Amino acid sequence: MAKISSDGHRSFDPNNPSPLETMTAAVSKALDPYGVTTSMLNAQMAWLSHPQELMRAMNGLASDAMALQAHVMRRAIGMPSEDVVTPNEDDTRFTDPIWQDSATWDIVKECYLAFTHRLQDMYFETPGLSDKDRRRAAFWSRKWLNMMAPTNFFWTNPVAMQRFVETEGKSVQEGWHYFMRDAQAKNILMVEQDAFTIGKDLGTTPGKVIFRNHMLELIHYAPTTDKVRATPLLIIMPWINKFYILDLTAKKSMFKYLTDQGFSVFVTSWKNPTADMSGIRFDDYLTDGVDACVKVVNDFCKTPQVNLVGYCIGGTMVATYMAWANRHYGKEMPVANWTLFTSLTDFAHPGDIDVFVDEASIKALEDNMNKKGYLDGNEMATSFRMLRSNSLIWNYWVHSYLLGESLPPFDVLFWNMDTTRMPATMHSWYLRELYLHNNLIKRDHLTIAGEPIDLDRITQPLYAVTAEDDHIAPWKECYRIRKYVNIKAPVRFVLSTSGHILGIVNPLVDPPKRAYWVSEPERNDHWEQWQESAEKKPGTWWEDWTAWLNKRSGKLVEAYPAASRKYPALADAPGTYVLEK
């Protein structure tokens, strides 16, 4: 753009954008704030700018095409032939035998898989782009390719056509009914909205709401043993979803399991924010949320300290609180030990969600939130469903609309659809300070509720649980908490099989469904060193955790009542905030 020099002449300033660049940026912001198409276009331009690399990639594609042609010819004349490309183990789209037994449909499947796998590899290997730009281009191209799968269209899905014949057209009629149902709900449903009732079918562990403020309700679950450990357990649940994920049914309930093991269990149930809470800050979640509950629990039980637990963003908050409280309270620290469930503190590599984290995407979200005062829960849920679009979107598209199947009543999916909103101010800060700038790991860089935050101040013992297939909080990133807490802090680190939810909702079953690895790493141990030394055990880590807690929760005392004179019951569990839509 031109600037005026000292002699009055106009000169070119390369540091300022040209009018064309300014217009292009404005159009991109308006039409594609999340880089859906621009990321792929940038990758394509990068390939065109590197002809030698492009030629090598084209040679690979030509090799695939020749192998595919030979496969097609063998199948066409009835000869046996091994597939050129096989679906990934977690890809269930082509599991029906017809995709293998029928030569025609096998060829359709193989053409699609060969093209998509090669194209995905090219996006991941794009020359001249940063690692993040390559991953973003690959992510969005994968979403487009997933959408265009032959299984998603009636005339290219042999299972759907066969179902149409078998049901004499009823499957399509039912599919249309389910399509209109979802159109009315403005969502592709994974479970019927009336499949369960909270407090009747889910969230049924007996307890009382003993504290309520503008941020949360605090539930104390009724004891099931005559004696309990003296040090109470306070669980800080994520406010991204509702708390009853750990209290789905009696058999799956962590809360019931813990009370049966002789622990006094307190749990947060966060208020679903409305527009008038748009100004609520991360600081408020710490002071009016976590710190307020810690004070109430210690006062209720007449104890100097609690055992503090945090799940997901609740765990990120607990880590922040531990650093804050060690500085704020000093020797009067009100927490004895702490536990993290699938919680990030280092956001350098947060997994696939990273594609939504850059200045343009956050600015677009902020513009959206500023209009309403919050981020709508369905918008956040859609983002997470996009991370696993085949299983969380297109699977339901196919089974509901093309096959005309009713939705099975699955409690975890019902909870997943029971979304909550995010206050605009808090969520903007959270995305910028933690995800975008990764400031939580920087010593004294953040000041929250009047205190500079340094994770190295934390000396209390930590039990950290992660999940092998977690795509929201990747376990290798969660492991890095070992590096940031004080070297004096003992850490027991656990890696469970399964993912972000089922790795935690992991009750005792016989025979065991899952397994876990556990070991106690030193501060400078890399995750590979931990993995080599970790012992693999069958079953759930719940037993290992309760054994760890028992050693750190004091002696057995008479069970605390669910409510008291000073803290009378304000409502029965699961409370009132959890019912807010």
What pLDDT, in 10s, does the model give residues 235-271?
A: 999 999 999 999 999 999 999 999 999 999 999 999 9
Q: Which pLDDT band holds residue 29 (cuts at 50, 70, 90)? A: low
312 included as an active-site residue? yes
Mean pLDDT across the chain, nearest whole number?
A: 92
Is it the case that residue 27 has pLDDT exceeding 80?
no
Q: How confident is the model at residue 30 (pLDDT cuts 50, 70, 90)?
A: low
The model's pTM is: 0.91
Q: What is the 3-state secondary structure (H, E, C) of 502-568?
A: CCCCCCCCCCCCCEEEEECCCCCCCHHHHHHHCEEEECCCHHHHHHHHHCCCCCEEECCCCCCCCCC
The tokens for 147 are 């959408």
pLDDT, residue 26, reads 58
State what percent of residues in the chain have pLDDT above 70: 95
Supply the pLDDT for residue 380. Answer: 87
Tally of CB atoms within 10 A around 48: 9
Phi/psi of residue 212, nearest 5 degrees: -150, 135
Q: Which long-range contacts (CB under 8 A, 24 or more apart) does 157-162 make?
A: 157/398, 157/402, 158/96, 158/98, 158/99, 158/102, 158/105, 159/96, 159/98, 159/403, 160/398, 160/402, 160/403, 162/98
Q: In a 3-state reduction of DSSP, which class is residue 413?
A: helix
pLDDT digits (tens, 9 = 90+) for 441-490: 999 999 999 999 999 999 999 999 999 999 999 999 999 999 999 999 99
Residue 483 tokens, joined:
């590096």
Q: What is the pLDDT of residue 355?
A: 87
Task: Give how far the C-alpha of residue 245 lies from the chain's centroid of Cα atoms, to the nearest Å.
Answer: 13
Q: Is 414 helix (H, G, I), strand (E, B) or coil?
A: helix
Separation between Cα atoms, residue 346 and residue 482, nearest integer Å = 11
The greatest distance separating any two alpha carbons of the chain, rounded to the nearest whole angstrom, comes to 90
Residue among 453, 480, 440 at smallest CA distance from 464: 480
Quick one: pLDDT at residue 2?
Answer: 46
139 by Cβ neighbours in 10 Å (0-12 / 13-18 / 19+) ranks as: buried
Averaged over 362-382, what is the pLDDT?
92
| 65: confidence class by pLDDT, cuts 50, 70, 90 | confident
In tens, the pLDDT along 507-553 reads 999 999 999 999 999 999 999 999 999 999 999 999 999 999 999 99
**293, 301, 312, 478: which is the annotated catalytic residue?**
312
In single-letter form, the type of residue at position 413 comes to L
> Rounded to an integer, what distance in angstroms lies between the CA atom of residue 17 and that of residue 291?
48
pLDDT tens string 373-412 = 999 998 888 888 998 999 999 999 999 999 999 999 999 9
> In 3-state terms, what secondary structure has residue 185?
helix
* Beta-carbon-side half-sphere exposure of residue 429 (alpha carbons within 13 Å): 17
Is residue 420 within 8 Å of 272, Cβ to Cβ? Answer: yes
d(CA 389, CA 141): 12
Could you tell me which of 134, 241, 235, 269 has the C-alpha nearest to residue 472?
241
Q: What is the pLDDT of residue 19?
A: 60
Element (H, E) at 451: strand 451-452
Amino acid at 93: R
Q: Is 487 exposed, middle or buried (0-12, 13-18, 19+ CB in 10 A)?
A: exposed
How many Cβ atoms sit within 10 Å of the Cβ of residue 536? 10
Rounded to 5 degrees, what are φ and ψ at 307?
-95, 120
Whether the predicted pLDDT of 225 surpasses 60 = yes
Joined together, the tokens standing for residue 380 give: 């956040």
Using alpha carbons, list the distances in angstroms from residue 409 to 189, 196, 213, 400, 574.
11, 8, 34, 14, 21
Asked whether the beta carbons of 481 and 320 are under 8 A apart, the reply is: no
pLDDT band at 21; cut points 50, 70, 90 = very low
pLDDT score recorded for residue 1: 47
63 close to 119: Cβ distance less than 8 angstroms: no
